[in-house]
Each structure stands twice: as structure tokens, then as C-alpha cells.
């Protein structure tokens, strides 16, 4: 005889199992640092159902975040933060020590800027370790480095806590969990990652951190588990490979300029090879931002310290610095062709785009900085427009002229340089712009405008690796 269970009972059991599963994998997390990585990660962990406390010593920033004011430009982040503040899963504090005491899973997400000699500056990481060392009592802490740190930093953290703070080794574990967030699409990258990398000195700690990411693993994200050193090196190796790929196509573009070849078609020709792929084959004025410049420098520094000749990375760094000078070189050549004078003194040059790439307000190591510096040294008058980065660039160049509208920025200009690939620039009315400018000269350093559109509007221009299409 077969007994049957009523449908409503089955449904209740299923709901209870779902709730139990959620409770089983729900954790209380402290994220220390509320920059790009810390804020996106904290909001992302809350979105996955965890109780998250984000801590930062910057009191003004914390007060803004409590009010739902996001201090950085990152598409979708404001909505994600607001949603999880409303649910009570995300909160903020400037009391870092209390945040360390409150939760047993601690993510370190502070900055690791580049020092003058090229190595990663770990002072902020060690400041957090100092707070942790003074706060660990009798409960086990899992310390996770989300910040990009050199190889053996995890081992150094363990050594510091054991030797300098006399913390028994059984009271804490160290895990490396590098981030792979692209500025401008960081929220999407967190919630739909290509892979999740975990390196640990303790298998139990690794299992707990894996549980935090279980909803993403259930959706198909790849999990890579390894030791601390390998995890730390994966991050540097990944950024160095991407930087190398960008630099390679930029150097090919420079050659294409000399031989009247089209870099976009070249990129298509080599990118269709599955061993190479299309990504990061867009020629331009060089890479910038918070990751590639400092991480390639740090990787080269690490290799140099271990007497490993990582010359391919060093060459990438040198080539990228040169690439940032290419737009102004091209501009001077165009002026020579146009009026037999390459002198930029007194010329009004409009810069469209200041961020190191589109969809961010980050100007760190932006090619636009080098472009502006060169123009000012040449005696040019610089006007500028960007969708999000004007405030940040004003801190570096307070005396140039900034505009809230691209059409105002280019008015009466002698030349235009497109320095950032904002999507909105593709829909600019260049026929109208042609009526505003003094001289129809343009450098599309991002290769985002159809050369035929510019030519049709009467512009005399150049791009990176597409010279022959303009003239």
C-alpha cells in the first residue's frame, strides 16, 4: 500500500529546507575598507544573504554611506547598497576595532598603492593586522586578504600575529581571496564572476569561505582552491597578462600607422584565434587605473627581488608609458600637415574623457593625465569634459577649464582629443561639433568613432592604428 503526503505538507517541507539551506550558508562578515573593492564586495556579500558590516577609518565616508551616498562612481552600486541597507543586511561603521571584535570572518579590502620603488605599499594592510592583533580574544578569526598583495603576504600576516601579538596559531586562519573586479562593471563581475580563487593555510577555513560564495558556485562560477602563495600570484599574473595584451595591440597599432594598416581588422584577424581571443585587443592610449600600473610594477619588483628576469613585464610597463604620449605626438603631426606648424602654444585643445576608461570616475594613472601634462608643457590651453571624473581631475589640474557638456568643451577649440571610451561619445553630433570648433582637427585615441563620420563632417583626424581612414 502506497501512502501519500498532502501537497501542502510537501511544499512546507521544501520551504523549510530552503530556509535551513539559507541559514546554513549565512555568515556574519566584516569588510575592512570601503573603496572600490571593499564597498562592492560588502554590498555583494549582503546581496548573497550574509550579514555584512563594512568598516573604515574615514568617518566622513562612513556617514555618507549610512545615508546611501556612494563616494565613487560605479554603475549599479548605489542601488545595490541602498537595497541591502534597507533589508538590514548591510551596515557601516568607523569603529574598526569593534567591527573586528563583532564578527569572526574578516575581509581586508584596503588599498595597496605603488611605492616610489615600484613595490606594493602594504602599510594599510598592516594597520588592519595591527587592529586584528590587538582585538583577537578567545574566538577563532578567519582573516581574508581581498586586497591585492604580494606573494607571501598571507604568511607574513600569520607571522606577525603569532610573533608580534602572541596570538596562538589555532585562534586564526589566513585566506587569500583576490578580487577580479573591473571598474565600470564591478557589480556585475562580483555577482557573476568567471572564477573564484581561494588560497588557505587551513582547509576548514577554506570550506567556510567557500560557503560564502556558494550561491555563485551554484550558478556555475568556477572555484579554484590552492595555497596562499599561488592565490596571491594568480592576481598579479592575470593583470600582467591583460596589461601585456593591451600593450601588444598598442604596439601593433603604432606599426600599423607606419604601414597604412587597420588595427581593428588586425585585432579581428588575431582575436578570432581561440588561443588568443578578442578581449583586450582594443588599441588606445595605454592602460591606467588602480590595478594594471601598480600590479605590473609590483610583479616586476617581486621577480627582481628573487633574481628572476621578468623582462616581458618590464617591457610592458615601459611601452605603456610611451603609449600615453602618442596622442599628443599625433596631434602635433596633424598641425604640421594643416598649417606647417607643430607648435601648440596658444592652441585651445578640448579633451573629451578624463577617467582611465569609461563607466568610472577613477583617474589613477589615466592616459588623460599624461596628455594634459604634455599639452600644458607645450603651452596649449586645455578644456575638458567627462561624465564622472571632472571632480577628481580638478584636484590634479585646478586651472584648466572644465565643462558639464561636451559641446561646450569643444566650442572654439583648435583640436579635440578623445581620451576615454565613454559610450555616449559614439552618439555625439559631429556635424554640429564641426560648426562649433575653430579648426576641424581630432585625435580619436580610443578608436570609438567611425572615421567616415568624422570625414563626412569635414574633420582632419587621426586615431590609433587607423590613420589612412581619415585623410
Q: Give the whole-angstrom CA distance, residue 228 versus residue 205.
A: 12
Question: Three-state DSSP class for 417?
Answer: strand
- Contact between residue 253 and residue 263 where contact means Cβ atoms under 8 Å apart: yes
Say which of 10, 54, 291, 405 is annotated catalytic: 291
Q: Please name which of 321, 324, 448 lies closest in space to residue 375, comparing C-alpha atoms.
A: 324
Residue 291 is a catalytic residue: yes
- Contact between residue 193 and residue 216 where contact means Cβ atoms under 8 Å apart: yes
Long-range contacts of 455-459 (CB under 8 A, 24+ apart): 456/431, 457/430, 457/431, 457/433, 458/434, 459/430, 459/434
Return all residues near 203 (Cβ < 8 A) that are at least 6 apart: none
Beta partners for residue 263, in sequence order? none
H/E stretch holding 271: helix 263-271
H/E stretch holding 257: helix 228-259
Q: HSE on the CB side for 359, CA within 13 Å?
A: 12
For residue 183, report the phi and psi dihedrals to the nearest 5 degrees: -60, 135
Q: Give the whole-angstrom CA distance, residue 97 versus residue 179.
A: 24
Q: Give the whole-angstrom CA distance, residue 358 versus residue 39.
A: 20
Q: Please name which of 288, 286, 232 lies closest in space to residue 114, comparing C-alpha atoms.
A: 288
Q: Give the whole-angstrom CA distance, residue 207 versus residue 287.
A: 36
Q: Please name which of 182, 208, 204 lies closest in space to residue 360, comparing C-alpha atoms.
A: 182
Q: Is 424 left (phi over 0), alpha (psi -120 to 50) or beta?
A: alpha
Is the CA virtual torsion 464, 251, 238, 298 positive or negative? negative
- Contact between residue 414 and residue 444 where contact means Cβ atoms under 8 Å apart: no
- Contact between residue 247 and residue 320 where contact means Cβ atoms under 8 Å apart: yes
For 400-436, letters b (16+ CB in 10 Å) and e give bebbeebeebbbebbbbbbbbbbeebeebebeebbee
- Catalytic positions, written as ranges: 291
Amino acid at each position: 500500500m502506497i501512502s501519500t503526503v498532502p501537497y501542502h505538507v510537501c511544499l512546507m517541507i521544501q520551504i523549510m529546507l530552503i530556509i535551513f539551506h539559507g541559514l546554513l550558508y549565512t555568515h556574519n562578515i566584516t569588510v575592512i575598507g570601503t573603496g572600490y573593492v571593499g564597498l562592492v564586495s560588502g554590498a555583494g556579500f549582503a546581496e548573497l544573504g550574509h550579514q555584512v558590516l563594512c568598516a573604515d577609518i574615514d568617518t566622513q565616508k562612513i556617514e555618507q554611506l549610512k545615508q546611501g551616498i556612494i563616494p565613487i562612481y560605479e554603475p549599479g552600486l548605489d542601488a545595490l547598497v541602498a537595497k541591502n541597507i534597507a533589508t538590514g543586511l548591510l551596515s557601516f561603521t568607523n569603529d574598526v576595532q569593534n567591527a573586528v571584535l563583532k564578527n569572526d570572518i574578516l575581509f581586508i579590502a584596503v588599498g595597496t598603492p605603488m611605492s616610489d620603488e615600484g613595490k606594493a605599499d602594504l602599510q594599510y594592510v598592516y594597520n588592519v593586522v595591527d587592529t586584528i592583533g590587538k582585538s583577537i580574544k578567545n574566538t577563532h578569526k578567519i582573516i581574508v586578504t581581498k586586497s591585492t598583495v604580494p606573494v607571501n603576504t598571507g604568511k607574513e600576516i600569520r607571522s606577525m600575529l603569532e610573533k608580534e601579538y602572541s596570538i596562538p596559531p589555532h585562534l586564526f586562519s589566513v585566506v587569500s581571496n583576490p578580487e577580479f573586479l573591473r571598474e565600470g562593471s564591478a557589480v556585475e563581475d562580483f555577482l557573476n564572476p568567471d572564477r573564484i580563487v581561494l588560497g588557505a593555510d587551513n582547509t576548514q577555513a577554506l570550506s567556510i569561505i567557500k560557503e560564502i560564495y556558494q550561491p555563485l558556485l551554484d550558478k556555475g562560477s568556477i572555484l579554484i582552491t590552492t595555497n596562499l602563495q599561488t592565490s596571491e600570484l594568480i592576481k598579479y599574473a592575470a593583470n600582467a597578462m591583460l596589461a601585456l595584451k593591451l600593450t601588444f595591440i598598442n604596439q601593433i597599432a603604432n606599426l600599423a600607422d607606419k604601414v597604412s594598416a587597420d588595427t581593428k581588422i588586425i585585432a579581428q584577424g588575431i582575436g578570432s584565434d581561440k588561443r588568443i581571443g578578442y578581449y583586450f585587443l582594443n588599441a588606445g592610449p595605454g592602460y591606467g587605473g588602480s590595478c594594471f600600473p601598480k600590479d605590473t610594477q609590483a610583479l616586476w619588483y617581486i621577480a627582481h627581488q628573487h633574481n628572476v628576469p621578468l623582462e616581458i613585464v618590464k617591457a610592458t610597463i615601459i611601452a605603456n608609458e610611451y603609449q600615453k604620449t602618442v596622442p599628443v605626438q599625433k596631434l602635433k603631426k596633424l598641425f604640421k600637415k594643416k598649417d606647417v606648424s607643430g607648435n601648440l602654444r596658444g592652441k585651445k585643445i578640448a579633451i573629451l574623457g578624463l577617467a582611465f576608461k569609461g563607466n568610472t570616475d577613477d583617474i589613477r594613472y589615466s592616459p588623460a593625465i599624461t596628455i594634459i601634462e604634455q599639452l600644458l608643457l607645450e603651452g596649449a590651453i586645455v578644456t575638458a569634459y567627462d561624465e564622472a571624473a571632472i571632480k577628481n581631475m580638478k584636484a590634479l589640474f585646478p586651472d584648466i577649464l572644465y565643462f558639464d557638456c561636451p559641446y561646450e568643451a569643444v566650442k572654439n577649440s583648435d583640436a579635440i582629443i578623445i581620451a576615454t571610451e565613454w559610450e555616449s561619445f559614439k552618439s555625439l553630433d559631429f556635424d554640429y561639433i564641426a560648426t562649433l570648433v575653430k579648426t576641424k582637427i581630432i585625435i580619436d585615441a580610443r578608436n570609438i568613432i567611425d572615421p567616415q563620420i568624422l570625414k563626412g563632417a569635414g574633420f582632419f583626424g587621426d586615431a590609433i592604428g587607423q590613420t589612412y581612414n581619415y585623410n
